[in-house]
Structure 1
């Protein structure tokens, strides 16, 4: 089996020439020289501008920008505040500035020259990424005062308010997603599993990334791993981040419902990812069923949200949600012996 390339193109963002003239002039002013090149990001699922701007004097900056009346503006401003307060040394791009111009908001970040990890997980890339996250989780286990001052939300509340969906399906508030027959019968078990997540999350005192997927990871030419897109920082257990990280690579398998044999299957098949999860420092002290509980919750969230596209997202998001939900459910089904 050959692994897939880094994350495929997932979005259609506005190009440099589509930005308001006043915003382009303000960005060039921040760079200190005319913009002579703009390389748009090809991954992600939002409709905002994102790309590297190159100035005539060789200066570069990674810019995110969105209209001021978009929810993306709030998200980018939140990300800027989080990145500005992350402890020194954490592998995250640093913010340079923000600006409001021509009815738009823009965030300038240091450029990270890198690519997302391959899917399914390549063993060496997975090992490096897991080691990096272990270090990050250790630093955030005791919330730095600057980050705590931002009053991050709690995963327990986010779970109750938005993530848990199987209970809504059982109550008829959400339609039952299309599932294989043998899994459609497991709704009571799915409800019971996901319902434990808020209590498990509430016991955590540290901070987590909150949206740690492979497409929010960059590997540079020096082998260093960078964690990006910190908008969803929240209080919660590090093992939640670990599950979303592993799941993102598993969801890249040609068919997550069927374990794939081949060169990279050692980290693709769910049974091997179980061992990876259990051995990681972030899983130390996790409840015995933490992985199952998280997979159940994520499966319900992804599969039910795949039916609509928010106005801030691209048309590619539902396919990503559906693929991730199917992968989470397949991994859980194997662990539970649901056949």
Structure 2
């Protein structure tokens, strides 16, 4: 399955938002919304639209409440904190306005005149993105904003091999290599926290639909999962999605990534094991409401991460 889902979640339109939310946004923006165009990609079941204002300006807006997805409002609140503090040097849209009434949460950001990378990945665009990630790791080390440590944020997610190994029903749904090696993978995963610690601000959810290519930049959008960790974390989390949607070799790409050259291979393997376990475990759970394509996406990325890990430790 491609990162840019061909079966998008049912998203909200501008008119679907409560009148109070729409009125507050139009008042803050100083103009009425003349039209909205739902944007492709991603898994959000909320509003994700390019809004055209009555005075001709364009902005990007996203909004959701707990009824649409219980986790999303909290993530949007995290994103508001990060976007409000990102330095101008970071290639990301600027936050223009935010709204939070305790139920609905909304962000209004600069509209980016760009396009998502072509899928499957085209080598030239991929090389451009990987070079941008090197620059991003430089500009975000040390972290210029306060964010949660990756060690705290993913403490539960990144012990998934332990959960899988302890559940015969889940274990039986994995491929033979993973089934027979689950205990080894759980042991490998146990070292991820020390391996992932660092002082770099990481996006932590990079994939094709969170990137926009403009004529002169690679813009990084959607920052709700931002954490502080090792400077090579973003590339490690990104490459399984590339491998799942193209013929690009993740190990070859990894070896060409400058921050990866100083990384301890055992540390990398520990984090990669945790990433693979997390995606595969999540893919075995029932699908959450309003996110029909999420589990298949997680399966594709988990399988790609595990295949990559297998080449490194076999």
Task: Check the 8 A contact 1:6/1:115 in 2, yes or no.
Answer: no
Question: Separation in 1 of the partners of 2:22 and 2:143?
Answer: 37
SS of the residue aligned with 2:263? coil
Structure 1 runs of 4+ aligned residues shifted over 6 Å read none
SS of match in other structure, 1:96? strand
Counterpart Cα distance in 1 of 2:128 and 2:79 = 24
Aligned twin of 2:55: 57
Partner SS for 2:262: coil
The answer to whether structure 1 residue 94 and structure 2 residue 91 are counterparts is no
**How many pairs does the alignment contain?**
310
Render the CA deviation track for 1:77-121: whole Å, top value 9, x for unaligned. 221221121122210111001124695222110011222222332
Distance 1:301 1:243 in 2: 14
**1:225-264 Cα shifts (integer Å, max 9, x gaps):** 11111112212112221012121111114xxxxxxxxxxx
When residues 30 and 120 of structure 1 are mapped into structure 2, their CA distance, relative to the original with a 3 A threshold, is: same
Q: Which residue of 2 aligns with 1:72?
A: 72
Conserved 8 A contact 1:31-1:60: no
The answer (yes or no) to whether the contact 1:210–1:241 under 8 Å persists in 2 is yes
**1:188 aligned residue (160, 171, 183):** 183
Give RMSD over aligned pairs.
Answer: 2.4
Provide, for residues 292-336 of structure 1, a one-character-per-residue CA deviation record: whole Å limited to 9, x for no partner. 32332111111111122334x511111111111111112222333
Alignment of 1:291-306 (within 5 A): 291-306=268-283
In the other structure, the counterpart of 1:45 is: 43
Q: 8 Å contact 1:211–1:232 — kept in the other structure? A: yes
Matched residues in 1 for 2:101 and 2:298: separation? 34
Mapped partners of 2:305, 2:139: distance in 1? 28
Q: TM-score, normalised by structure 1?
A: 0.83
SS in 2 for 1:24: helix
State the shift of 1:216 in Å: 1.2
Cα deviation digits, residues 37-94 of structure 1 (max 9, x gap): 1011222112221111101211111111112675422222221221121122210111
- Separation (CA, whole Å) in 1 of partners of 2:273 and 2:3: 28
Superposed, which structure 2 residues align to 1:165-176 within 5 Å?
165-172=160-167, 175-176=170-171
Higher mean C-alpha displacement, 282-291 vs 100-109:
100-109
1:169: how far off? 1.8
Q: Quote the residue 1:127 is aligned against.
A: 127
Aligned to 1:257: none
Question: TM-score normalised to the size of structure 2?
Answer: 0.90
Distance in 1 (CA, whole Å) between partners of 2:86 and 2:97 is 15
Report which stretch shifted further, 225-234 or 8-17: 8-17
Aligned-partner Cα distance in 2 for 1:74–1:195: 28
CA distance in 2, matches of 1:136, 1:25: 37
C-alpha change, 1:193 and 1:214, in structure 2 (3 Å) is farther
Please say if residues 12 and 42 of structure 1, whose CA atoms lie closer than 8 Å, have aligned partners that are also in contact. Answer: no
- Is residue 52–residue 62 contact of structure 1 (8 Å, CA) maintained in 2? yes
Matched residue, 2:213: 219
Change (3 A) 1:175 1:232: same
Instruction: Give CA deviations for 1:196-230 in whole Å, capped at 9, x if unaligned.
Output: 2111123x22221122222211112x142111111
Greater Cα offset, 18-27 or 229-238: 18-27
